[in-house]
Amino acid sequence: MAPDPSLIDRAQVNRFLRRKGLTAIADKSQAAHLQSFGLAPEIVFDVGVDLGTPFLYQAFPSAHFVLIDPRAESRVALSGPNAPRSAVFFETALGAIPGSLPLHIPHSDKGEQGAMASLRHRTDSLSDKFNRIDAREVPVTTLDTIASAFKGRVGLKIDTEGFEDEVLAGATETLLRTDFVILEMSLIRRFEGIAPPSSLITRLAAAGLEFRDVLRMTGDGKGGGAPRLMDVLFTRWHARAPAPTTLAS
């Protein structure tokens, strides 16, 4: 049975963590936290959908969502209780130039791991846990090509397993009308040919988007202190600062 959250002494937990050299970090992938920045996109592009991004859909219920993923299985995000109210789906990958590329889809004892499908070859320790990796040829287009049919201010989420820099390279026009970007930023070389964090930050800074918050951080999986990746929020510099969140007293 899970413990009653009301009975947990957060201060005591934090003291215990500090004695172990650890710090609790909030998972801020929450609709309320995103809304606290005062963002109001008319169009939101969810790039790398997998099974959907509910907190994003809940944060902007009046926005029109454009879901983009090369796996047909991700169309499931259009249905169910967490689906956005208004949405369309594009079955394609995004990159810097149009064409086609093999999508590498890993399989483990639990079956197909669609969330880890990538246009790059994985090189981190997770690759040792896969039974096999299937390759599926998928079309590639640019975000600018798709976004040209959708007018208005933009929000953008990118989770493409190491291909984020290429997605941004094909979105130069779209980024000029983008008010926020949430992307998965790798902090180690998880894939062959992956761009360093500075490349992502530089591209977004050139479009006027600044590093504002870390929504979620994933460790090395071995109890070490160095993270593997972060989900990072970028906004225009004039976006409202969120109210402080007290995690523990």
- Domain membership flag for residue 43: yes
CB 242 within 8 A of CB 35: no
Distance (Å) of CA 164 to CA 30, 76, 95, 143, 184:
22, 23, 8, 12, 7
Instruction: Provide the domain count of the chain.
Output: 1
What are the pLDDT tens digits along the chain (249 aa)?
555 555 567 678 778 877 766 666 678 999 999 999 999 999 999 999 999 999 999 999 999 999 999 999 999 999 989 999 999 999 999 999 999 999 999 888 888 888 888 999 988 877 778 888 899 999 999 999 999 999 999 999 999 999 999 999 999 999 999 999 999 999 989 989 999 999 999 999 999 999 999 999 887 555 556 788 999 999 999 888 876 654 443
CATH of the domain at 70: 3.40.50.150
Is the residue at 194 inside a domain? Answer: yes
Residue 17 maps to a domain:
no
Strands (E) located in 31-112: 43-47, 64-68, 87-90, 93-94, 99-108, 111-112
- pLDDT for res 61: 97
Q: Could you tell me if residue 122 is inside a domain?
A: no
At 15 the pLDDT is 80
**Domain range enclosing 192:** 29-98+139-208+231-236
- Per-residue pLDDT at 166: 97
Question: Is 114 domain-assigned?
Answer: no
